[in-house]
Amino acid sequence: MSLTFESWRLKARDLLIKGVPPNQTYWDESPSLFSFEETALFAPVPHPKVPKEFMELAEAVACARDPERWALLYRLLFRLNHENQNLLNIVVDEDVHKAKLLAKSVRHDIHKMHAFVRFKKADIDGVETYVAWHKPEHLILPLATPFFVRRFGDKPWSIFTPDGSAHWNLQNLSFSEGMPQNEFDHEDPFDEVWKTYYRSIFNPARLKIKMMKAEMSPKYWSSLPETEIIHELIRNTPKRLQDMAEAPRFKAEVPKTSSWEELRTAALSCKACPIAQHANHTVFGEGPLQADLMIVGEQPGDEEDLAGKVFIGPAGQILSQALALAGIDRESIYVTNAVKHFKWTQGTESKARIHKKASGAEMHACKPWLESEIALVKPKVILALGVTAGTALYGRLVQIQSERNKVNTSSAFAKSLTISWHPSAILRAFNDDDREQKMKDLVEDLKKAHHLSQT
């Protein structure tokens, strides 16, 4: 069994109390932990103290795949107590510099593990379990896996790596020996879904192979189902770019009218993009035509498509709750979507229609309807909900997390343009904390947008 951070901490504390200097110790990965000469050349430290920053640093460095990490940590610990309590602030110090580099590498590796683990459904002794194999650069399993407990804690799972394995049984997180990849033999039909998703988001016009490899290093590719198609996508990029250049960009033909009813009636027969062929209804906006505040969502959902009414499904119910919490009468605002038809795909295990994001060409085709609604209503403030709505109104890809607190006062569409989470993001939240935070954000953004519309 390898030396762990906790066993190192206990033994290092004992050595420090006895005053044993770093050059009298030898740290090993074996169960014996270390060897040292029982010679106290320095004054004992009966009550060792270290800053919180050191413990956080040490916990990360302990996971580094570096045989000198234990000795490095003990040197820092010893020097903090015998030389300088502010040692960690001296960034040019050789030991401090190396420790911080190792910690940075470990944290980066943890981030990559969180992004690149792909669970596969497996039946183990009649119990539905999810399994994954991953090869991290460092020994990060103890630090990285609590994230999966928080995010996927409602299902039993196991993550296997060459160095060790983590297991969650809905109650406890445990660890065991590792597993080489050639012994991990699990296939999952959902792998094809990952490939489909990767094909759908791949943009040949923005292909940057060097950057792609920097973000998703080839060393992880063997355990990622979607990477099986990377070479195919790269190989076909020239043809796809040519096809994109030659493809016509359709745009809805909107009648010149100042009548909302005429505009809505014309939209009912719109066939400017392929989405309309598979939709039941064109879902136009609703609300007072003199509304000071307009809310723009992404596209109709299943229930909206069946009824032909905007924001009445699960996402609409969340929006209504958020409006109520913000003290806003829904009947006082104009609500619409950037895309007027429901784009969907058939569920693999049911007859349910699954929402599918509209493409850039489809958003472009539908944009004249949104522009005409805005021209008729003339809102003071527009609140865009979600990336699709944000892209349509900002004219670029938006980052909701970083932009939701900003007000765009140079928009051609309204005096003020803001953005927030789409209610569906709240429905899809990872956990209760994430859900509560996004709902809180949405309510806050609604209040701000409403306040701006009243000034």
Residue 305 domain-assigned (yes or no): yes
Closest residue by Cα to residue 444 from 415, 411, 404, 409 = 404
> What type of residue is 317?
Q
* Helical spans, DSSP H, in 52-93: 52-61, 69-82
Closest residue by Cα to residue 274 from 396, 363, 369 = 363
The tens place of each residue's pLDDT in the chain, 455 residues long, gives 467 888 898 888 888 888 888 988 888 765 444 555 555 555 666 677 888 999 999 999 999 999 999 999 999 999 998 889 999 999 899 999 999 999 999 999 999 999 889 898 887 777 888 999 999 999 999 999 999 999 999 999 999 999 999 999 999 999 999 999 888 877 666 666 667 766 777 777 667 777 767 777 777 767 777 667 777 777 777 776 666 555 556 788 899 888 999 999 999 999 888 898 889 999 999 999 999 999 999 999 999 999 999 999 999 999 999 999 999 999 999 999 999 999 998 766 666 788 888 888 889 899 999 999 999 999 999 999 999 999 999 988 899 999 998 999 999 999 999 999 999 999 988 888 999 999 999 999 999 999 999 98
Show the tokens assigned to 361: 């060409």
Q: What is the pLDDT of residue 1?
A: 40
Q: What is the pLDDT of residue 454?
A: 94
Last residue of a domain, one of 183, 199, 222: 183
Residue 100 domain-assigned (yes or no): yes
Q: Are residues 155 and 106 in the same domain?
A: no
- Residues 6+ positions from 189 with CB-CB distance below 8 Å: 348
Q: Tokens 């050059």 correspond to what residue? A: 23
CATH number, domain with residue 336: 3.40.470.10
- Residues 6+ positions from 100 with CB-CB distance below 8 Å: 57, 91
The three-point CA angle 103-168-159 to 5° equals 55
Q: Are residues 405 and 295 in the same domain?
A: yes
Show the tokens assigned to 410: 């140079």
Domain of residue 388 covers 260-453
Closest residue by Cα to residue 42 from 61, 69, 23, 64 = 23
Q: Are residues 286 and 365 in the same domain?
A: yes
Rounded Cα distance between 298 and 281, Å, is: 16
Closest residue by Cα to residue 76 from 48, 43, 104 = 48
pTM for the full predicted model? 0.51
Query: Which DSSP letter does residue 138 get?
Result: S
- Residues 6+ positions from 221 with CB-CB distance below 8 Å: 227, 230
Q: Are residues 92 and 202 in the same domain?
A: no
Last residue of a domain, one of 112, 127, 154: 112
Rounded Cα distance between 164 and 197, Å, is: 30
Q: Are residues 267 and 157 in the same domain?
A: no
Residue 253 domain-assigned (yes or no): no
Q: Are residues 80 and 130 in the same domain?
A: no
Q: What is the pLDDT of residue 25?
A: 86
Q: How many domains does the chain have?
A: 4
Residue 173 domain-assigned (yes or no): yes
Residue 315 domain-assigned (yes or no): yes
Q: Tokens 């927030």 correspond to what residue? A: 420
Q: Are residues 211 and 228 in the same domain?
A: yes
- Residues 6+ positions from 434 with CB-CB distance below 8 Å: none
The helix/strand/coil state of 154 is: coil
Last residue of a domain, one of 183, 204, 228: 183
Q: Tokens 């929402």 correspond to what residue? A: 355
* DSSP string covering 185-197: ----TTHHHHHHH
For 223, 245, 304, 341, the CA distances from 310, given in Å and listed in that order, are 42, 34, 6, 11
Q: Are residues 64 and 35 in the same domain?
A: yes
Residue 418 domain-assigned (yes or no): yes
Q: Are residues 156 and 58 in the same domain?
A: no
Rounded to 5 degrees, φ, ψ at 386 are: 95, 165
Q: Are residues 268 and 352 in the same domain?
A: yes
Show the tokens assigned to 272: 């400017």
Q: Are residues 305 and 440 in the same domain?
A: yes
Residue 415 domain-assigned (yes or no): yes
Residue 255 domain-assigned (yes or no): no
Closest residue by Cα to residue 107 from 155, 57, 44, 168 = 57
Q: Are residues 93 and 230 in the same domain?
A: no
For 226, 227, 240, 320, the CA distances from 234, given in Å and listed in that order, are 13, 11, 10, 45
Q: Give all strands of the β-sheet with 381-385 in edge-to-edge order.
A: 334-337, 293-297, 381-385, 416-420
Point out which residues pair with 354 in neighbouring strands.
Answer: 345
User: How many residues does this entry show for the chain?
Assistant: 455
